[in-house]
Amino acid sequence: MNKKELEAKLISIRRHLHQNPELSLEEYKTTKSIKKWLQEVGIAPLETTLNTGVFAMIKGKKNAPIVAIRADIDALPIEEQTGLPYASKVKGNMHACGHDFHTAAAIGAAYLLQQHKADLNGSVKLIFQPAEEIGGGAEKVINDGQLDEVDYIIGLHNKPDLPVGTIGLKNGALMAAVDRFKVELQGKGSHAAIPDGGNDPIIAASQLVTALQTIVSRNVSPLHSAVVSVTKIVGGNTWNVIPENVTLEGTIRTFSTENRIKVKRRFDHIVHQTSAAFEQYATIQWFPGPPPLMNTEEVVQSLAQTAEKQSLTIVDPIPTMGGEDFSHYLERKKGAFAFFGTSGKEDWHHPAFTVDESALILAASFLYESAKDLLIKINP
């Protein structure tokens, strides 16, 4: 398969995935299709206890070391508004984060690796991961033992605001840790005309929202970044009754474990002290997401050298407060995650999100060459 034929094949694969999006942990047809595309070139899937997701090993002239390439395969519950001829055929579901692009690029890398496996200084493991969007997918892969024998792991994410032919590579923190919170303030209801007969949780909630904003402004270094966002408030049923309780939900984003711990500690203190000041009882529920995504310097350097050979323009990307469960892999193995330019008109999770498909063959080639070069550096 020459370059032109491979590019046409990958575009076809990506469009098939785009038309048939499946939500997290429901990627059954996607899993079946990936297995078929791998088996077409003689790549046999590995055994797994997971219901969705695909894993495979391409062995070179040496069995070890092992570099893993990871792609996520799930879609989002978004109604597509692109008007593309190959738009989603599944109402309410869409590949609005480009995981179809990632999957097709990794399959392209797999084809190239299989074609040149006799030249590899080790083996390459393919990880087509389910359930990135809801979190927990990477942990399922790890618990399944798929990372045990891996020495290094690499991956990429499309970046709409970077032009095709551009790659963002950064040492250290690239994406934020994600924590979701739910706070319930329990007060005492009363008639709206007799507020002194109760303890109004709406007033307490209003004060709390304001007080929480001081965490970032007064407890996080101005040289660091963090976000505390209250995104949902629920309380009351009618206009003339002060309710018994109010619920607040939102998210915290941080770029270091130290700030993650500090911000949550301050959050807890402010919630309980503010609620106590208004004679409320507060409960906090935490829903921890992925940790900060921390790239390994030596792997970033290797990817940069590969990118230069491919004449890609390397930029220092602005870290994003978005989360990515690839970070779980990087807590356990050396590796790196790159942003790959796709010249999109809208950002991730937008109903009109698109990618420039000319970036697809570049991404596939980059993943292939990066894995090959990394094996040489590990095992000259």
CB atoms inside a 10 Å sphere around CB 361: 20
Q: Whole-angstrom Cα distance, residue 315 to residue 317? A: 6
Question: What is the SS3 assignment for 16?
Answer: helix
CB atoms inside a 10 Å sphere around CB 280: 24
CB contact set of 33 (below 8 Å; sequence gap of 6+): 16, 17, 20
- Return the residue matching tokens 């290094």: 152
157 annotated as ligand-binding: yes
Is residue 67 within 8 Å of 125, Cβ to Cβ?
Answer: yes
349 annotated as ligand-binding: yes
- Reply yes or no: is the peptide bond before residue 65 cis, omega within 30 of 0: yes
What angle, rounded to 10 degrees, do the helices at 28-39 and 99-115 form? 20
191 annotated as ligand-binding: no
Q: Which letter does DSSP use for residue 160 in this model?
A: T
Listing DSSP states for 247-262 in one string gives EEEEEEEESSHHHHHH
* Closest among 375, 298, 319 to 157, alpha carbons compared: 319
In DSSP terms, 67 is beta-bridged to: 124, 152
5 annotated as ligand-binding: no
Which amino acid makes up residue 120?
A: L
99 annotated as ligand-binding: yes
Q: Please enumerate, by residue number, every residue annotated as part of a binding site for Mn(2+).
A: 97, 99, 133, 157, 349
Q: Please enumerate, by residue number, every residue annotated as part of a binding site.
A: 97, 99, 133, 157, 349
